[in-house]
Chain A
Amino acid sequence: MDISRRIVLHFPPRVTGQPVVYHLAKDFDLTFNILKASITPGEEGLLIMELSGDQRNYDKGIQYLNEVGVKIQSLSQDVVRDEARCTHCGACINLCPTIAFSLEPKTRRVLFDHNKCVVCGLCVKACPPRAMRLYF
């Protein structure tokens, strides 16, 4: 059975020099879509990606990541917009690192593309009417 999960990987400094994602693809036949990456060799790194493949290979891939010392945070958290509270001001638009918000040109309503959201949470506290909610 194929599965697809969005995960957040925290790389300790000693791992940032290793080709971890290459091994995920080559050794476990997993496909990946990087949503956000901030990795500098020798420093702590962050990688948010969507990882897809056969369930058993996926589990093995996660086991491999654990073994090399990568901390995995699953995106079981979710950011949801409370439609009744959103005032469509636009304060969130330029703060989102993955451009999940956009303006509908004609009405100037703020659109939220949930698929682009990587649950970083930046919009949650920056939303003036607190319409963005983080769920665990």
Chain B
Amino acid sequence: MTSGVARIIMSKTIAEINEKIKRGKAVVVTAEEVINIAREKGGRQAAEEIDVVTTGTFSPMCSSGVFLNIGHSKPRIKLGGGKVYLNDVPVYTGLAAVDVFLGATALPDDDPRNKFYPGEFNYGGGHVIEELVAGKDIRLIATAYGTDCYPRKKLETWINLKDINNAILFNVRNAYQNYDVGVNLSDETIYTYLGVLKPELGNANYCTSGEVSPLLNDPYYKTIGIGTRVFLGGDIGYVAWHGTQHNPHVLRTDNGTPKGPAGTLALIGDLKQMKPEWLVGTSMLGYGCTLTVGIGIPIPILSEEILRYTMVSDAAIFAPIVDYSEAYPQRKPDILAEVSYAELKRGHITIQGKDVPTASLSSYPKAIEIANILKGWIEKGEFLLTEPVAPLPGIESGITFKPLKERPLME
């Protein structure tokens, strides 16, 4: 088997970089800083001098959630197959007796949703996760059917992150490698996961951190793989797998940058060590609740080739402009135009001859802060790099992003 890692013509190894990190001698720069440094020094020299490039992103990521083991009550209760609410937000109980899964987009049963349009979605799973991490007491209300070994049928109690056995943040799709720019061609305001989109191209919203975004700095997944240690929610996490909808086989620029949504990561980590500042409960007006997740990934500069990928700048990253009033909901492949992040970050783009103001839903200042925190950890020798245990599926894997082919239940 040829792994993505083994293909690289090595000029440095992760073990060598880790030795330097332990000695406090590693040269670490952020994905923003590397651009100018490498332009000044040239790729070869920069690749020799720089050991690690740190990336960052801080953005709403809906496929996030936490597995909790709340501990056994006396007498015991089997929550599995029962109903459990945390601060009125329902959690998934289809697991063993006291394991539950709290998803970021879950809503209280009595939330009016979009009955009063646009719904406000002030409190949901993402907010419970933030409050758990902040050390707040959470109200658990459960009903179960009762068994011989788990006789109890009702449980009402406060729980706290510090007291429960496990809290494992396990996000099955994070850190999207590039994303759509959302606009609205209709004549009414629409409320989307890309924010409020005003009618007739009233605004355009984008949602990646561009040149500092993790997977945009490693476009072919040559260093980021399964087992890669990362910054997740303010502490250490790991790449568990490729994320759901991971789609390496997309149109790319000459330097490999996908021109639309492509790779994704499944990330895992210990919620007990994380910080509420980097896991923020989020409300998208008219859309729903979610969790804004802070992620930072170190890229070991193993060769000049790897360094060149990290030199990618906003001017060389292109995103598709998609109409979220018609093309997106109706799953039409139409793209209005492609636009670079350099243009998006200028604050105005031109679409169909119209000047359209742009905004981001991904926080660039926070992405930079994450890249700098990770840089600090590595410089201080607190964070060592890991060798991936297996690569993420690349273009050659043949993985594609399949739409649902509906088959009527009644022929």
Contact = CB atoms under 8 A, between A and B. Distances in A.
Contacts of A87: 58, 280, 292, 363, 366
Interface string B118-134: 10101000000000000
Interface in A84-136: 85, 87-95, 103, 107-109, 125-126, 128-130
Interface residues of A, number: 19
Interface string B46-82: 0000000000001110000000000000000000000
B372 interface: no
Contacts of A90: 359-361, 363
A53 B360 CA distance: 42
A94 B359 contact: yes
Interface stretch (B223-231, B257-265, B282-290, B302-310): B282-290
Contact of A128 (B60, B202, B368): B60
Nearest to A127: B283
Given A126-B196, A130-B122, A91 B205 contact: yes
Contacts of B298: none
Interface residues of B, number: 32
Contacts of B361: 89-91, 128
A94 B358 CA distance: 7
B196 A129 contact: no
Nearest to B207: A89
A92 B202 CA distance: 13
Nearest to B189: A95
Contacts, number: 65
Nearest to B202: A94
B365 A107 contact: yes
Contacts of B60: 128
B366 A95 contact: no
Contacts of B205: 91
* Residue among A92, A94, A107, A108 with the highest chain B CB neighbour number at 10 A: A94
A103 B364 CA distance: 11
Contacts of B345: 108
Contact of A129 (B292, B360, B362, B365): B292
Contact of A89 (B203, B357, B358, B362): B362
A68 to B, nearest CB: 33
A111 to B, nearest CB: 11
B347 interface: yes
A125 B203 CA distance: 17
Nearest to B206: A90
B198 A89 contact: no
Interface in B340-368: 345, 347, 357-366, 368
Interface in B288-329: 292
Contacts of A129: 280-283, 292
A91 B281 contact: no
Given A94-B203, A108-B365, A126 B122 contact: no
B195 interface: yes
A123 to B, nearest CB: 10
A126 B196 CA distance: 7
A128 B292 contact: yes
| Chain B CB within 10 A, most for which of A107, A109, A125 | A125
A92 B347 CA distance: 13
Contacts of A85: 280
Interface string B90-126: 0000000000000000000000000000101010000
Interface of A: 85, 87-95, 103, 107-109, 125-126, 128-130
21 contacts: A87-B58, A89-B361, A90-B359, A91-B196, A91-B205, A91-B361, A93-B359, A95-B196, A95-B198, A107-B365, A107-B368, A108-B345, A108-B364, A108-B365, A109-B365, A125-B118, A125-B120, A125-B285, A128-B361, A129-B280, A129-B281
Given A95-B198, A108-B345, 5 more contacts: A89-B360, A92-B359, A108-B364, A128-B361, A130-B283
